[in-house]
Amino acid sequence: MKNKIQNYWSNITNKKVFIATAIAILFHTIGLVGFLFLNKPLFALATPFNLMLSFGLLIYTQKNKSKAFYFFIAMACGIGFAAEAFGVNTGLLFGSYSYTNVLGFKILGVPIIIGLNWFIVIYCSGVTTHTIINKAISAIATETKLPPKTLNAISVIIDGATLAVFFDWVLEPVAIKLNFWHWANADKIPLYNYISWFVISLIILTIFHFSKFDKQNKFAVNLLLIQLMFFLLLQTFLK
């Protein structure tokens, strides 16, 4: 009976992942075609909708939506938004930059949708790293002689932050071309931006790791790969 129930929920989860992945591929493909061949400014204005759709699909595919999961969402959005607001208004985080109106309504100079973007990037990076590390943790723990739990925490937090920074590195040139934000030095994205991203990602991923919710979400891994491919193609071909 227990196996039947497990198989039932596994089938439901797999269907959800398939549906969510198909929707994400469809909308990112439409966006790619729109940016490259149709109306770039018009499709840029649809970015907040795409972020909300991605957020909704992550919620849809998340198993066991506990209070801890929603707490993490609030913390990721809140910390990410607060860091951006502090950075925009002081220049002491990320560097000297400002947001345009493309991403929608702003508070303290920061589009409110940016909080969701931080959650999406950090959650997908954390889940992806957690999935990879869990498969290799026993072998690595034996070689390094570190306790598996300690190694898992270090790997998920540090490797996840590195992955999040890589995502931002792929995103930055595209975001500038799409007029999402501008740097004071238009010719160069400061290294300090990536250092700040890494530190803030470490903080949020620490909360991610120690929050007690299910971190197995195949769609989160798929979404990260879809978005990386999307921005890499735009980085290569967008004029």
Which DSSP state fits 27?
A: H
Q: Number of structural domains, the chain?
A: 1
Secondary structure class of 182 (helix, strand, coil): strand
C-alpha to C-alpha distance for 70 and 86, rounded to whole angstroms: 24
Which DSSP state fits 102?
A: T
Q: Are 188 and 176 in contact (CB under 8 A)?
A: no
Q: Tens of pLDDT along 197-218? A: 999 999 999 999 999 999 999 9
Which DSSP state fits 184?
A: S
Which residue, chain included where needed, has tokens 């978005």? 227
C-alpha to C-alpha distance for 77 and 112, rounded to whole angstroms: 9
10 Å CB burial of residue 114 (0-12, 13-18, 19+) is buried
pTM score: 0.90
pLDDT at 1 over 60: no
Q: Which domain holds residue 101?
A: 2-237
Average pLDDT, the chain: 90
Q: Tens of pLDDT along 114-144? A: 999 999 999 999 999 988 887 666 566 556 5
